[in-house]
């Protein structure tokens, strides 16, 4: 069994964060469907924008890890798959 390395724990943290972004985005989209308050709509749209920017940032980190540190890594493949499944598209 391969020991867990720092890069593996970083990737697992990024996977958890992407999953949070996915779930929170779903919740925001449902809220926007029913929301009538313009102030709340703006706030939710701002949060959605922030989540999208964070997703882009994580995608960039995954690309850097893949090209510089972890070629042919299943962990990076998993992270990229999870990123691809989130609701907000890059």
> Rounded to two decimals, what is the model's pTM?
0.76
Q: How far apart are CA 55 and CA 59, in angstroms?
A: 6
Does 41 fall in a domain?
yes
Residues 21/87, Cβ–Cβ less than 8 Å: no
Report residue 34 as tokens.
Answer: 């029913």
For residues 14 and 58, what is the distance between their CA atoms, to the nearest angstrom?
Answer: 7
- Whether residue 90 is contained in a domain is answered as no
Does residue 1 lie within any of the structural domains? no
What confidence category does residue 87 fall into, taking pLDDT thresholds of 50, 70 and 90?
Answer: low
| Domain ranges, residue 17 | 7-85
Name which of 77, 79, 89 is nearest 16 in CA terms.
79
Question: Given this model, what pLDDT does residue 7 score?
Answer: 55
- Residue 63 domain-assigned (yes or no): yes
Number of structural domains the chain divides into: 1
Q: Would you say residue 27 has pLDDT above 90?
A: yes
Q: What value does the mean pLDDT take over residues 23-46? A: 96
How confident is the model at residue 90, as a pLDDT? 40
């Amino acid at each position: 069994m391969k020991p867990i390395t720092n890069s593996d724990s970083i990737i697992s943290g990024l996977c958890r964060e992407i999953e949070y972004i996915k779930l929170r985005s779903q919740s925001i989209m449902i809220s926007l469907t029913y929301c009538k308050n313009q102030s709340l709509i703006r706030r939710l749209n701002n949060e959605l924008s922030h989540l999208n920017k964070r997703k882009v940032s994580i995608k960039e980190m995954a690309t850097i890890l893949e090209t510089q540190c972890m070629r042919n890594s299943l962990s990076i493949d998993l992270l990229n798959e999870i990123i691809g499944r989130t609701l907000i598209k890059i």
